[in-house]
Structure 1
Amino acid sequence: MQRLRLVSAAFAACLLAPCAHAQEAAPAVGGVGEDIRLRWLDPVIFAPTHAFAPPPARNSEIERVEFARLRELIRAAGPERLARAAWDGDHEEPVIYNEAAGRDFTKLPATSALLATISAEVDRMVHAAKAWFKRPRPYQADPTLPHCGKGSAAPSSYPSGHAGYGWSVGWTLARLVPERAPQILARAQDFALSRELCGVHFASDIEASHAAAIAAVEQLLIDPRLAPQVAAARAELAGH
C-alpha cells in the first residue's frame, strides 16, 4: 500500500522563499507541561497552523487506510524487527546513527552539541503541534491494536516526536557527512517506521514530522547565530 504523503506548508514556504522572521505573534498553544516556545525558528512560519496540514479526520477513509497499513505492517513484521522497533522507541539519541554515519557520536562532543540544539528546536515545534491537534494515538482509537506504547492517555499522535527527532538528526548528519547520506537517510526512514510497527503512530504522523523537520533543519543550518556550532561540528566530523 502506498505510503500516505503530507507535505508541510513550512517545507514549501522555505524552499520557495527565505524564511524571514515575521513580526506577528505565533498562535498560542498549550496542553503540555514544558516550554514549547521556539528559540531559533520563526514562530509564525513554524507554528502548528502553518507548518503542518491538519491530520486525517477520525473515521475518515484516509484513517481507515492508515489503520489497514498498520495492521499489515505489524502482522508481517518478525519478532526481531518488532524488538528493534521497541528499542528505537527508547533511544532518542545520536548513537542510533553510529553505524550509518560511520562515527561514534559519544566521542564527538561538538557534533553532539549541534544535534542537541537542532533536535531540541524541532522537538519544541512538534510538541506545540501535538498540543494543537490532539490526535489520538492508533492504540487509543483502536484498543485491539498491538502496540509497544506506554499507555499514556494524552492524545498526542500527530505529529510524531520520534520521527521528528530521527529526521532532524538524520537530515543534519546527511548535510554534514554527504558521503554517508544514503545510509543515514535509510536509517532515519527505518527509525520512523519503527513508530508504526510499535502501533503508536499513523503514517501521516510520521510524514508530517519528516517534512517539517527537513524544513526546520534547512533554516537552522544557515542561521548565523548557529554558525559557530555548525563550523565546529563540520571540523570535528572531518577529523574522524
Structure 2
Amino acid sequence: MRMQMQANSFTRPFLPSGKRLAGLSVLGTALLLAGCASQGQGSAAAPVPEIRPGILAGYLPADARPDSLALVPPPPAPGSAAQALDDEIARANQAQRGTARYRQAAVDANLKFPQAAGVFSCALDAPISQEQTPRLYLLLRRTLADAGLSTYGVKNKYARARPFVANQQPSCTPAEEAMLSKDGSYPSGHNAIGWAWALILAEIAPQQSNVILARGLAYGQSRLVCNVHWQSDATQGRIMGAATVARLHADPTFLADLAAAKAEVAQARANGLRPAGDCRAESEALAIK
C-alpha cells in the first residue's frame, strides 16, 4: 500500500523493527525527544497509547491520514522555472543570517516538547503548557504526529535535496544537518505541522485567528530562513497540514479534545493567565517588512 512508504525513519519510533525502512528523519528524532521530555497527558483526557515509550499516537490511523501521493505534485524539476524561483528565494533568505529573524527561525525549528508547545502562545494570547493548559498541550502533541506523518509518501518517493545541500550554505541548525541531509525536503513536515496547529488554534480562539494564522505562515517560512527548505516545500507542506486538519474533523476523539481545549483556553484567559516568553521581541522579529 502507498501508506507503507511512510515507514521512513520519521516513523521508526512508531513501527516494529521488522517493518522499518532505511533512512533518518529529524522529525522522527524530534518526536522521540518530545516524548521523553514530556510524559503528561492531561488528567481529564482518556489515556493515549504510546507507540514507543514517551511517544503519543496521533488521532488518525495510518490508513486514515491524507495521502500526499494523491495530493502533492512532484517537486520542481531541475532547470525549471519553479526551481529557479526556489533558488532565488533561497538566495534572498541568506541575507537573514545573523538577524533576529534568523534566531527566531532556530527557535521555530525545535519540535521537542515542552519547547514546541509555546511557539504559538503569543499569537494565542494564552499560555500553552502541560501545567496550565493540559488538554491543548495534548492536542498539539498528538496532531504533530498526524500532520508530520502525512508528508512521507512524497518525501520518500522523491527524496529531494535540502537547500543547504544544494547551495552549500549553512543552516540555522547545524547540529541537525547530518540528519536533514538524509530526509527528503519535499514537502515540508514542519510546514504541515505548523499550519495544522495554526488552523486548530484559530478555531479554538477565533478572535485571534488573523494573528494565529500569520504566525503559522511565519513558522513555515522560518524553514526557508533557516535554509533547510525550499519555498515549494513549504507551500505543499501547508497543503498536507490543511488536509490533515480536515480529516481530523471527522474523528470524534479529536473533536472532543478540541472542545475541551477551547474551554480550557477560555478559562485560562478568564483567570488572567498570560503567554510565557517575550512576545514583543517575537513580534518584532517576525514583523512583515
The alignment's TM-score, normalised by the length of structure 1, stands at 0.80
Q: CA deviation at 1:34?
A: 4.0
- Alignment partner of 1:124 is 2:149: yes
Q: Give secondary structure in 1 for the equivalent of 2:151.
A: helix
CA RMSD of aligned residues (A): 2.4
Q: Give secondary structure in 2 for the equivalent of 1:63.
A: helix
- The whole-number CA distance in structure 2 between the counterparts of 1:177 and 1:197 is 28
Q: CA deviation at 1:238?
A: 2.2
Aligned length: 215
Residues 177/222 of structure 1: CA separation in 2 closer, same or farther (3 Å cut):
farther
**More RCO (CA 8 Å, sep 6+):** 1
Within a 5 Å distance, the mapping from 1:208-227 to structure 2 comes to 208-227=236-255
Residues 165/27 of structure 1: CA separation in 2 closer, same or farther (3 Å cut):
closer
Q: Which residue of 2 aligns with 1:104?
A: 127
Provide Cα deviations, 1:180-234, integer angstroms capped at 9, x if missing partner.
0011011111111111011100001001111111121122134223232122112
Residues 41/54 of structure 1: CA separation in 2 closer, same or farther (3 Å cut):
farther
Q: Which runs of 5+ in 2 are unaligned?
A: 16-56, 269-289
- Alignment partner of 1:28 is 2:4: yes
- The whole-number CA distance in structure 1 between the counterparts of 2:90 and 2:252 is 42
User: Once the two structures are aligned, what percentage of the paired residues are identical?
Assistant: 26
Q: CA deviation at 1:108?
A: 0.3
Correspondent of 1:233 among 261, 265, 268: 261
Q: Which residue of 2 aligns with 1:72?
A: 92
Residues 108/45 of structure 1: CA separation in 2 closer, same or farther (3 Å cut):
closer
Do the aligned partners of 2:3 and 2:62 also contact (CA within 8 Å) in 1?
Answer: no
Which residue type is aligned with residue 202 of structure 1? W
Provide Cα deviations, 1:140-186, integer angstroms capped at 9, x if missing partner.
1221x342242223042111122122111111000111000011011
Within a 5 Å distance, the mapping from 1:51-70 to structure 2 comes to 51-70=71-90
Correspondent of 2:188 among 153, 160, 167: 160
- Alignment partner of 1:194 is 2:222: yes
- The whole-number CA distance in structure 1 between the counterparts of 2:193 and 2:65 is 19
Q: CA deviation at 1:71?
A: 0.7
Which residue type is aligned with residue 184 of structure 1? I
Which residue type is aligned with residue 171 of structure 2? H
Provide Cα deviations, 1:87-118, integer angstroms capped at 9, x if missing partner.
21125522001111011011100111112222
Q: Which runs of 5+ in 1 are unaligned?
A: 1-24
- The whole-number CA distance in structure 1 between the counterparts of 2:139 and 2:125 is 18
